[in-house]
Structure formats: structure tokens, C-alpha cells
Amino acid sequence: MTDPSIVLPFTETQRTAARRFVSYVFVDMAQLWLTHGWNAAGGHSIERLQADLTPAPLGYRRSMAVARQLFFFAQAWRVTGNAACAERAHALYADLTGRFWDAEHGGWFFSLGDNGAGTGPGADPGKDLYGHAFAIFALSHYASVFRKAEAIDWARRTGEAVKRHLFLPQGWFAQAARRDWSSPDPALEQNPHMHLLEAWLALHAATGDASVLRDAAQLVTLYTDRLHSADGAKVLEHFDAAGRPQQERGQLVQPGHLYEWYWLLHDYAESARRPEYKQIAAPLFDWANARGVDPLHGGIYDQVDTDGQVVSDRKRIWPVTECIKVHAIRAAATADAGAHAALERWIAFMTTRYFTGGGGWHEFLRRDLQPDSDYLPATTPYHVAMAALQVAELFGGTTFLKPAAQP
């Protein structure tokens, strides 16, 4: 009988595939965005690239997208030591903190015009929980990588604004409010709370602050009290102002979020030394595999309902990144060679079906896995980088993560 405390070694083929995956993300993908993802004249990032790698004429730039790019380039420098990635991370930090912070009311503007203007077409000065969560997340990672105490101050200031202005008496956070924080939306939305938990865990990792872990615990309790289904196997997305599943959209399930919550609950369990949350997470993995994965063509559906019926059969790239993260932590925890093989299969699926060469990717596939998009969002490298970091950690870190000197 195999001793479960002994983790089987990976094959050289598996190591090679993992190394190529990590390299594609932090070398090729980073180079693509270093080359095409910056407006040098305006000194700011680009929100989306078209198929020919020219900027998409959206007319806006979101603070959330800038924050995700900040995280990506900070980690790309940590992994590769490429000074250009450090330079871009510093420029993104300046762009975010210098342009998107509301000096009058506090908090981060949802978007600016793509010319940097805070008013006019494309600009939205409102405040959203999702964007603030990613600001905390990115600033925490940037601070950790570059030892920037000022970035921690920004993250803490953001967290205090969120708690002061968006927390509702019902026990959850408003998903959005006006610029002056008035008229908060009382409906309960799962997704921004999930990313706020991710942000608190990142800030706790950067600071070791026990109060931040208590903030995270509050969101974990919200998950166990309200966000999952009665059987604990599904995560619901949309609730009304009383915390009940919405009548029209309350039965929608995004399989990618099941993997994402599984990963977050494991991260919280490790940080808080509460192993019972790993057991709470277990049904999510089983149900996502059973009802979220296409058994015929492969890949992960964008949306199903609580009965497992397919609602949207398009297959965006990010659910696969969440699936890879989960398989990586499962492979790290078990001596079952099947777990290693499952991770290898999902990495191969990502690299053969989504990656296009030169740092590019297909954002969407159809059900039959044919490409179904012709643009590259600046937000997607965050997702793929999170998966690559988890894979790199699994394979020992030193093989993949090369420490570099402080620039």
C-alpha cells in the first residue's frame, strides 16, 4: 500500500511540459505585452489588443485591468529577472496610483478615458468592489516582489475604504456605488467577494497581519452561509438584496468559479491553519469535473445551471487556468500518479488548444474547440500567470523561479 505522505516524482516529460508552460507565460506572453501593451506617448497600459496586436479602440481603461497587469509584470520579473518586466511593473504602479485614485472621495475610479481623462466618453468615476479587490491584490504582490512599503500603505488604504463605504448591514459588500460612495448597490454578487478574499489572502501573505486574516475569515463565512448550494457542491453567482438567489439568474453556475473557490479555500485553510476548509472545498472539485467539463470535446463550459444543464457552451481560457491551479495543489498533496497525469493533461490542453505562439492565445473556443475570438484582453495574463505560478511552485520553485537582484 502506498504511503500517502510520499509524493511520487514527476516524469521528465511532465517536468518539460511544465517548464514550457511557465516559460510561455512569463517569457513569451510578457514579451508580447511589453512590445504591444503600452502607450509610450501617454505613459499608460492598453486595455485590449486586436488580432493584429494593435490597440482596440475601446475608449476606456479600467483600473482593474491596470492592477492585473501590475501583478503580472511584478511576477514576470520575479520569475525571469527580465529588467524590462520590472520597469513595466513600476510604470504600471505609477499609472494606477497617479491617475486612478480619487483624491477627493478616496477609492479607485472604475475607468478613465483611454486618453487619460477622468471625464467624458469612456470615463466612469464610480467605485466597484471588483476593481478595489484587484487593487489590493496587485499592490500586495507588487509590494512583496519589490519590497515597496508604500504599496502596502495603498493596499491598506483601499481596504479601509472598502470596509467603510461598501460593507452593508446585511453582512456583505455592495458591488458598486457612485463616485462619492452614495447609492451602494445592495444586491449580493458572488464574484467580487471571491476576489476580495483573494486580495485579503495576498495582503496577509505580504504582511502577516492577523487582522487581514480575520477579514478573509469573514468572507469565508459568507461563502459557507450563503454563496454555495445546499449540497456544498456548487457556487451560486447572483443574489438579490435579501441574499436570496435571483429569480432569473440565481441558478447559474460558472464551473471555473468552483475550481477558483476550491483553490481559495485551500489557501485560506493553510494561512489560517484550518484544515477543515479543505474538506468543505472537496465537493466543488467533484461537481465541476462531473458537470462542468465537456465529456465529448474536452474543455470547461462557461456556464451551466444547478442541475448541470449547459447554459453557455463557449469555453473561455480562464476556467482552464483555475482547473490547472487545483490540479497542481492536488498533485502536490497526493502520491497518486493519476493526479500528476491529470495535471499534465490540462497543461497540454491549455498549450495546444489555447496558446497560439508568440505569447498569444485564443480567449474563447466554441464547444467543438474551434477558436471563437479575435482579441486579447490585458486582463487574461493574470489568470494564466496564477496557474503558472502554482505549477512552478509544484515543481520545486528553484527550477522555474529564478531570484533576481533588486533593480
Specify the CATH number for the domain of residue 74.
1.50.10.10
Answer yes or no: is pLDDT of 2 > 50.
no
Q: How many domains does the chain have?
A: 1
Answer yes or no: is pLDDT of 234 > 80.
yes
Residue 406 lies in a domain: no
Residue 30 lies in a domain: yes
Q: Are strands 375-377 and 176-177 parallel, antiparallel or unpaired?
A: unpaired
User: What tens digit of pLDDT does each residue of 300-349 get?
Assistant: 999 999 999 999 999 999 999 999 999 999 999 886 788 899 999 999 99
Confidence (pLDDT) at 176: 98
Residue 71 lies in a domain: yes
Report the C-alpha gap between 20 and 287 in whole angstroms. Answer: 30
Residue 47 CB: number of other CB atoms within 10 A?
22
Confidence (pLDDT) at 400: 56
Residue 7 lies in a domain: no
Mean pLDDT, rounded, for 4-26: 84
Angle between the N-to-C axes of helices 63-80 and 83-95, in degrees from 0 to 180, rounded to the nearest 10: 160
pLDDT band, residue 119 (cuts 50/70/90) = low
Residue 405 lies in a domain: no
Report the C-alpha gap between 37 and 53 in whole angstroms. Answer: 9
Confidence (pLDDT) at 38: 97
Q: In terms of residue numbers, what domain contains 57?
A: 12-240+249-394
Mean pLDDT, rounded, for 87-107: 97
Residue 5 lies in a domain: no
- pTM for the structure as a whole: 0.95
Answer yes or no: is pLDDT of 225 > 80.
yes
User: What tens digit of pLDDT does each residue of 352-364 get?
Assistant: 999 999 999 999 9
Answer yes or no: is pLDDT of 404 > 80.
no
User: What tens digit of pLDDT does each residue of 30-40 get?
Assistant: 999 999 999 99
User: What tens digit of pLDDT does each residue of 66-83 get?
Assistant: 999 999 999 999 999 999
